[in-house]
Amino acid sequence: ILKVFKSLHRTRQEVFKSDTRALEAARQKINEEFRNNQDETSEEKIKELLKIASDVEVILRTSVIQAVHTDSDKI
């Protein structure tokens, strides 16, 4: 569980680097989701939640695009 948690935070830092608002929002969401499920005891449910977390990490790495505004008519 801790491995997936740390992996999500590392991915968050890579994907949203230099975007403090997105970094903070992602940090809060990751922490909130793990905190909301910290008392889960069902092994099946825990496996399902870990699968979801791993899927989210893959989506962040492969699907999120951060644009940088460089000029008035360029991104």
Tens digits of residue pLDDT in 4-25: 999 999 999 999 988 899 999 9
Mean pLDDT of 26-41: 94
Least confident of 4-8, 53-57, 64-68, 70-74: 70-74
Percent pLDDT > 90 in the chain is: 76
pLDDT of residue 72: 73
Give me the chain's average pLDDT, please.
Answer: 90
Locate the domains of the chain by residue range. 1-62
DSSP 14-70: HHTTT-HHHHHHHHHHHHHHHHHTTT---HHHHHHHHHHHHHHHHHHHHH-------
pLDDT of residue 5: 95
